[in-house]
DNA sequence: CTGAAAGCGCTTACAG
DNA sequence: CTGAAAGCGCTTACAG
């Protein structure tokens, strides 16, 4: 595409095939209310092809008044294979209905530069970010379109509670919560922790000890050393996610602690690499189908101005491997 | 945003602040060629704020003739933290110039459903996918905009060659290439393999044996058993990427083979988890800054119809940890 | 300094 | 079955 080259419009196609722009539009959009003779139809299609005509999206959107774009807003750090797979399936489901899913991945805390909303008008936003952060919240508001959340607080609490229940059921009566050190993950981490707390409370156990585990092997090792100076095995560690769990297992191994005999470790998300750890990671998995159906329902509800569904409970399953 | 609610336009803002639409546009876009009295300017800004006015992007794009959107097209499987970080920095760099980066992550081999190009007109596409696949290629062509590649063949070959050279230098004179089993990764894998071959050829060594390593622990174990029945240690394994390398190390450990004494393993990408493996993974890292600068240069060249830069060589460094 | 007007490319009621 | 025309909301030469 050369710069300065003129755009090919439906008027060009109309002229070249000897019909009006209306007819071109009817044919190209397969308008069911018009019956175009197949001879004309084919000619138009052929000419459009020859000319390399592509309708100019903004004009169409301006005319119809709405784009068919769903924008997923997420943070780099949360794009685990699980979420990515869910979004991929969402994309397929949306495509069947004529919608397209695109991702915005970034840190909206940057105040200079241009705003994405100046370049893009989605129909709906799917938010996977922490909306309690004012910067993020105002970033989302700018688009002035409905916002649907992927996961909510109660879902994350349930995950923490499930970890705790499992560990308790396995006979660990002292629990630790291993939290990542990223500041931007703290809110999500606190929600998981709250679930772990509830799990402990159910069984009248002491509240979990919270240990931050940095994402470098050396610092993770020190963190675990700290932890061991405060708590004596046996105990169980509920990890924020599988990444944290893998760091914890590595650090435990460095410290010569046996997993799961002395310390049990449970992750969350069931990332593909979880099976390759020694011992293989015990972790949580979600029913993606349920989550997806709820999400799609809410997207279309939001887009049509209907109220969103209350989040139905999503089933969480435990993938028991070697670490707990 | 209720359905059926009328959109607030610049005409509304103009009316409410007693000026023309032109003046509203000048103020909102900070047009340097106009000098609007600051009293008027502030009034317009305030009214726009009060009314909750957001310019409608498609109208602006239709008028100006070009969007400021760069679309990154990628596959789920290639979104390693490295690439994601690069794209994040790209986004920041583009934002400084008024452009926005969004991602399309999906499998364009689906023929039903709507085409993304009907919903979105980017200015430039950054391709991280295998364009030799006809389905992917025609997907990209549909947009009818310039396409910039992130990495090219010669870059991937260089990675393979660097792995081979390092292992050879460490004293391993028999090399194996561990390839993922995903069909869609085969072309990229072949390019890395070609680099390994070149590395072997340089030193007049036998060509590398190619072993496919599936991404499940059980099958990976069998693959390694097969490998060991064909080749006797010591030898070195150049892995397609860190994910494969981690699977290989797990399988080697299952088979009781010592790493790196009997078998050395080198990965590619230096993902964050690489340090948490036992032994910690030796792998390749790239100079992201160089890659980024080249990419940005090519994006703007493409967008302005200038020819793209030949890909300058990107420096690759070896992160020597315990596995090789 | 401000406003009236044109026009970007499309879709779609409407008239024939 | 087909075409002339309106209009989506914006920016920007142009005239005052």
Q: Three-state SS across chain A?
A: CCCCCCCCCHHHHHHHHCCCHHHHHHHHCCCCCCCCCHHHHHHHHHHHHHHCCCCCHHHHHHHHCCCCEEEEEECHHHCCHHHHHHHHHHHHHHHHCCCEEEEEECCCCCCCCCCHHHCCCCCEEEECCCCCCHHHHHHHHCCCCCEEECCCHHHHHHHHHHHHHHHHHCCCCCEEEEEECCHHHHHHHHHHHHHHHHHHHHCCCCCCEEEEECCCHHHHHHHHHHHHHHCCCCEEEEECCHHHHHHHHHHHHHCCCCCCCCEEEECCCCCHHHHHCCCCCEEEEECHHHHHHHHHHHHHHHHCCCCCCCCCCCCEEEECCCCC
Q: Does A89 touch chain B (CB under 8 A)?
A: no
Contacts of B105 in chain A (CB under 8 A): 84, 87-88, 91, 103
Q: Are A281 and A242 in contact (CB under 8 A)?
A: yes
Residues A71, B1: C-beta atoms closer than 8 Å: no
pLDDT at A140: 87
Residues B99, A114: C-beta atoms closer than 8 Å: yes
What are the residue ranges of helices labelled H in chain B?
A: 10-17, 21-28, 38-51, 57-64, 81-96, 134-141, 153-169, 186-202, 217-230, 242-254, 288-303
pLDDT-derived band at A1 (thresholds 50, 70, 90) equals very low
Residues B88, A76: C-beta atoms closer than 8 Å: yes
Q: Tokens at residue B299, please?
A: 């994006």
Per-residue b or e along A185-221, where b marks 16 or more CB atoms closer than 10 Å to that residue's CB: bbebbbbbbbbbbebbeeeebeebeebbbbbebeebb
Residues A114, B98: C-beta atoms closer than 8 Å: yes
Q: Does B248 touch chain A (CB under 8 A)?
A: no
Q: Cα separation of B166 and B179, whole Å?
A: 18
| B contact residues 32-61, partner A, Cβ 8 Å cutoff | 52, 54-61
| A contact residues 124-143, partner B, Cβ 8 Å cutoff | 142-143
Residue B285 φ/ψ, nearest 5 degrees: -130, 155
B185 touches strand C (CB under 7 A): no
Residues B103, A98: C-beta atoms closer than 8 Å: no
Q: What is the pTM of this model?
A: 0.83
Average pLDDT over residues A64-85: 83
CA–C1' nearest nucleotide, residue B23: C2
Residue–nucleotide distance: B301 CA to D7 C1' (Å) = 37
| B contact residues 152-171, partner A, Cβ 8 Å cutoff | none
Residues A92, B113: C-beta atoms closer than 8 Å: yes
Residues B118, A68: C-beta atoms closer than 8 Å: yes
Q: Give me the count of residues in chain B.
A: 324
Within 7 A of a protein CB, which nucleotides of strand C?
1-5, 7-13
Average pLDDT over residues A25-32: 87
Whether pLDDT at A112 is above 60: no
Contacts of A145 in chain B (CB under 8 A): 1
Q: How far is A202 from chain B (nearest CA, A)?
A: 34
The strand pair at B316-319 and B283-286 is best described as: antiparallel
Contacts of A278 in chain B (CB under 8 A): 250, 253, 278
What's the N-to-C CA distance of chain B in angstroms?
Answer: 58
Mean pLDDT of chain A: 88
pLDDT at B1: 37
pLDDT higher for A238 or A142?
A: A238
How many CB atoms lie under 10 A from the CB of residue B139? 24
- pLDDT tens digits for range B107-119: 655 554 457 888 8
CA–C1' nearest nucleotide, residue A39: D1
- pLDDT tens digits for range B302-320: 887 787 776 667 889 999 9
Residue–nucleotide distance: A23 CA to C9 C1' (Å) = 15
Place of tokens 């500041």: A183
Q: How many pairs of residues across A and B have Cβ atoms under 8 Å apart?
A: 189
The strand pair at B100-105 and B147-149 is best described as: unpaired
B21 touches strand C (CB under 7 A): yes
Chain B residues 30 to 59 with C-beta below 7 Å from nucleic strand C = 34-37, 40, 59
Q: Does B178 touch chain A (CB under 8 A)?
A: no
Residues A2, B68: C-beta atoms closer than 8 Å: no
Average pLDDT over residues A216-225: 95
CB-contacts to strand D (7 A):
A 18-23, 26, 34-37, 40, 59, 62-63, 65; B 6-7, 9-11, 21-22, 24-26, 28-29, 31, 53-56, 59-60, 62-64
Q: Does A190 touch chain B (CB under 8 A)?
A: no
- Lowest-confidence range among A142-146, A198-202, B278-282? A142-146
Average pLDDT over residues A112-133: 81
Identify which of A79, A215, A249 has the shortest CB distance to residue B84.
A79
Chain A residues 29 to 48 with C-beta below 7 Å from nucleic strand C = 29, 31
Q: Cα separation of B87 and B72, whole Å?
A: 8
Average pLDDT over residues A99-114: 72
Whether pLDDT at A3 is above 70: no
Q: Does A111 touch chain B (CB under 8 A)?
A: no
pLDDT-derived band at B145 (thresholds 50, 70, 90) equals confident
Within 7 A of a protein CB, which nucleotides of strand D?
1-5, 7-13
Whether pLDDT at A22 is above 80: yes
Task: Compute and round to an integer the Cα radius of gyration of chain A.
Answer: 26
A207 touches strand C (CB under 7 A): no
pLDDT-derived band at A259 (thresholds 50, 70, 90) equals very high
| A contact residues 14-33, partner B, Cβ 8 Å cutoff | none
pLDDT at B310: 67
- pLDDT tens digits for range B61-75: 999 888 889 999 988
Contacts of B84 in chain A (CB under 8 A): 76, 79, 105
Whether pLDDT at B322 is above 90: yes
pLDDT at B95: 86
Average pLDDT over residues A130-156: 84
């Amino acid at each position: 595409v050369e710069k300065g080259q003129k755009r090919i419009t439906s008027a060009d196609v109309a002229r070249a095939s000897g019909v009006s722009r209306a007819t071109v539009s009817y044919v190209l959009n397969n308008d069911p209310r018009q019956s175009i003779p197949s001879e004309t139809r084919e000619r138009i299609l052929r000419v459009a092809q020859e000319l390399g005509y592509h309708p100019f999206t903004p004009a169409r959107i301006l005319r119809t008044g709405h784009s068919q774009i769903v924008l997923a807003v997420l943070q780099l750090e949360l794009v685990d294979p699980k979420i990515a797979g869910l979004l991929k399936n969402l994309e397929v489901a949306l495509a069947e209905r004529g919608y397209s899913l695109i991702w915005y991945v970034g840190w909206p805390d940057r105040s200079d530069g241009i705003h994405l909303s100046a370049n893009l008008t989605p129909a709906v936003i799917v938010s996977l970010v922490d909306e309690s952060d004012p910067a993020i919240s105002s970033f989302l508001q700018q688009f002035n379109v409905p916002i649907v959340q992927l996961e909510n607080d109660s879902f994350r609490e349930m995950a923490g509670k499930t970890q705790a229940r499992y560990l308790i059921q396995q006979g660990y009566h002292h629990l630790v919560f291993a939290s990542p050190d990223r500041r931007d993950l703290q809110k999500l981490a606190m929600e998981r922790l709250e679930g772990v707390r509830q799990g402990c409370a159910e069984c009248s156990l002491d509240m979990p000890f919270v240990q931050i585990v940095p994402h470098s092997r050396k610092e993770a090792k020190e963190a675990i050393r700290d932890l061991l100076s405060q708590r004596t095995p046996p105990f169980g560690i509920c990890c924020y996610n599988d990444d944290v769990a893998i760091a914890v297992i590595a650090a435990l191994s460095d410290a010569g602690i046996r997993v799961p005999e002395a310390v049990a470790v449970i992750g969350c998300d069931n990332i593909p690499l979880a099976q390759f750890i020694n011992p293989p990671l015990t972790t949580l998995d979600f029913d993606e189908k349920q989550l997806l159906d709820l999400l799609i329902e809410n997207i279309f509800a939001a887009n049509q101005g209907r109220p969103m569904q209350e989040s139905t409970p999503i089933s969480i399953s435990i993938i028991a491997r070697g670490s707990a």
